[in-house]
Amino acid sequence: MKQDIHPDYDYVVFRDKGADYAFLTRSTVKPAETVEWEDGRTYPVVDVQISSASHPFWTGKSRVLDDEGRVAKFYKKYGKTSPKA
């Protein structure tokens, strides 16, 4: 392996504020913000919008984003009739 070409691989906290969930793992990400972890040490922190604690697949709680499907929206927008009708 070539020397001095690999990024630093260190501990980072990934935090999902919406689900009030955080976990400590190793990553090559280097965020500027830090947080004090449960062990009393300070680690860099990355805020994520969605994690396994808030994702519908893992929680079993589905979210309805829209009432119409994408195909129905397309037909409505361009004035075409759907193939089902």
Please state whether the predicted TM-score (pTM) of the whole model is above 0.75. no
51-80 confidence digits (pLDDT tens): 878 776 667 776 555 566 777 878 888 887
What integer best gives the mean pLDDT of the chain? 84
Angle at 47 between CA 9 and CA 14, to 5 degrees: 45
Higher-pLDDT residue of 21 and 52 is: 21
C-alpha angle with apex 75: 71 to 78, nearest 5 degrees?
Answer: 135
**DSSP letters for 60-73:** S------SS-HHHH
Residue ranges covered by each domain of the chain: 10-78
pLDDT given for residue 58 in this prediction: 65
Over residues 79-84, mean pLDDT: 67
Within 8 A by CB and 6+ apart from 24, the residues are 11, 12, 13, 37, 43
